[in-house]
Chain A
Amino acid sequence: MSTEFDGESLSSRFGRQAVTLVLIATVLFLASPVILTFVSSFATDWTGVLPKGFVTVQNWQAVIFGNDIGANVALGSSLFYSVGLALGGVVINLIVGVPIAYAVARYDFWGRDWINIFAILPLAPGIILGIAFLRTYPDLSTSGIALVIGYSLLKAPYMVMAVQSSFESMDLQQLEESSRSLGASWFRTFLTIIVPNARTGIIAGSIISWTLAAAEFNFSYIVYSRGTPPLSLFLFKNITNSSFLNAAAAVSVFFLLIAGVTIALQIIGHQRSGSTV
Chain B
Amino acid sequence: MSEITLHNVTKQFDTTTAVDDVSLTIDDGEIMGIVGPSGCGKTTTLRLVAGFETATDGKIEYDNEDVTHVPPENRNVGLVFQSYALFNNMSVLENVTFGPRMHGVDKDERQRRATRLLDLLDISELADRDPQTLSGGQQQRVGLARALAIEPRLLLLDEPMTGLDAELKQTLRKELGELLADLDVTTLYVTHDQEQAMSMCDRIAVMNDGIIEQVGTPSEIYESPANEFVATFIGTSNLLSASVGDGVVDFGFAEIATDSLPDYDHVELAVRPDDFSIGDGPISATVTNRFYLGGEIQIVAEAADGTELTVEVDRSHHSVSKGDEIALDVDTSNLHVVTQ
Contacts and interface: CB of A to CB of B under 8 A. Distances in A.
Contact of B103 (A183, A185, A272, A277): A183
A180 B85 CA distance: 12
Given A276-B94, A277-B107, A277-B114, A184 B102 contact: yes
B94 A273 contact: no
B73 A180 contact: yes
Interface string B137-163: 000000000110010000010000000
Contact of A175 (B75, B87, B101, B147): B87
Contact of B102 (A182, A197, A276): A182
B83 A174 contact: yes
B94 A275 contact: yes
Interface string A166-180: 000001001101111
A177 B94 contact: no
Best-surrounded residue of A171, A174, A181 (most CB of chain B within 10 A): A181
Contact of A277 (B78, B93, B146, B156): B93
Contacts of A188: 102
Interface string B276-315: 0000000000000000000000000000000000000000
B89 interface: yes
B91 A182 contact: no
B332 interface: no
Given A177-B50, A182-B146, A272 B87 contact: no
Contacts of B62: none
A179 B75 contact: no
Given A178-B81, A183-B102, A183-B150, A272 B50 contact: no
A177 B156 CA distance: 12
A197 B74 CA distance: 24
Contacts of B33: none
A274 interface: yes
Most A CB contacts (10 A, CB to CB) among B52, B98, B156 go to: B98
Contacts of A273: 89
Contacts of A184: 73, 98, 102
A199 interface: yes
Interface string A258-277: 00000000000000111111
Contacts of B90: 272, 274-275
A181 B79 contact: yes
Interface in A174-208: 174-175, 177-185, 188, 193, 196-197, 199
A185 B74 CA distance: 9
B8 interface: no
B101 A193 contact: no
B111 interface: yes
B44 to A, nearest CB: 13
Contacts of A178: 79, 81, 85, 87, 146
A183 B83 CA distance: 20
A185 B94 CA distance: 18
Contact of A181 (B77, B83, B110, B114): B77
Contacts of A276: 94, 101
A274 B75 CA distance: 25
B50 A181 contact: yes
A197 B89 contact: yes
Interface string B95-120: 00111011100010011001000000
B193 to A, nearest CB: 19
Contact of B89 (A181, A185, A199, A277): A199
From A178, A196, A276, name the one whose CB has the most chain B CB atoms within 10 angstroms.
A178
B58 interface: no
A273 B88 CA distance: 9
A8 to B, nearest CB: 35
Given A197-B87, A274-B91, A181 B78 contact: yes
B177 interface: no
Contacts of A181: 50, 72-73, 75, 77-79, 147, 156
B54 to A, nearest CB: 14
A274 to B, nearest CB: 4
A277 B110 contact: yes
A159 to B, nearest CB: 20
B85 A175 contact: yes
A227 B85 CA distance: 52
23 contacts: A171-B81, A174-B85, A175-B87, A178-B146, A180-B71, A180-B73, A181-B50, A181-B73, A182-B78, A182-B98, A182-B150, A183-B76, A183-B103, A184-B102, A188-B102, A196-B89, A197-B88, A272-B89, A272-B130, A273-B89, A274-B94, A275-B101, A276-B94
User: What are the 3 closest A-B residue pairs judged by CB atoms, nearest first?
Assistant: A183-B102, A182-B99, A196-B89
Given A197-B88, A272-B89, 13 more contacts: A171-B83, A174-B85, A175-B85, A175-B87, A178-B81, A178-B85, A179-B87, A181-B50, A181-B79, A182-B78, A182-B146, A185-B73, A277-B114
